Amino acid sequence: MTPPRRPDPPPMRTNDVRVALAGTAAWAVALVVLLVAGTPSGDDWWLWVCVTGIVTGLFGVWYIPRLQAGRERQEAARAARREAAVEDAVQVSEAGPAGATRQDIAAEASTTTAASAASETSETTDADV
């Protein structure tokens, strides 16, 4: 008999949009400094690097909430499948072998759903892109 699996710790929550905004603001400050002070040796590519940083940061501010929402939906679907597997295992156990406890069946169901979740993570979904 395998020992029960310890639950995974909750993921660390960070404010990724704020980080993207800070980077975008840093690129905007660099652009203003270059416009006021001038570019070294008259190279205009410095300005375009700043503009690219600003555009990339704005894209990140738009994209990050959508990415996080997709990941949360995917995790909720996985949790629902795990719960359904545990309930199915409990129903089967009521007619199953004598002496099996609810914890034994839940542990067995979690190992089977962990294997299926591992195969799911290898698949690319629209939420991950």
Q: Among 51, 5, 7, which residue's Cα sits nearest to residue 28?
A: 51
pTM above 0.85, yes or no: no
Chain centre distance of CA 27 = 26
**What is the pLDDT at residue 109?**
63
Q: Are 50 and 34 in contact (CB under 8 A)?
A: yes
Q: Are 57 and 27 in contact (CB under 8 A)?
A: yes
- Between CA 103 and CA 124 the distance in angstroms is 33
Place of tokens 């395998």: 2
Give pLDDT tens digits for 51-69: 999 999 999 999 999 999 9
- pLDDT band, very low/low/confident/very high, at 31 (cuts 50, 70, 90): very high
For residues 81, 83, 86, 92, the Cα torsion angle rounded to the nearest 10 degrees is: -80
- Between CA 114 and CA 82 the distance in angstroms is 8
- pLDDT band, very low/low/confident/very high, at 2 (cuts 50, 70, 90): confident
- pLDDT band, very low/low/confident/very high, at 12 (cuts 50, 70, 90): confident
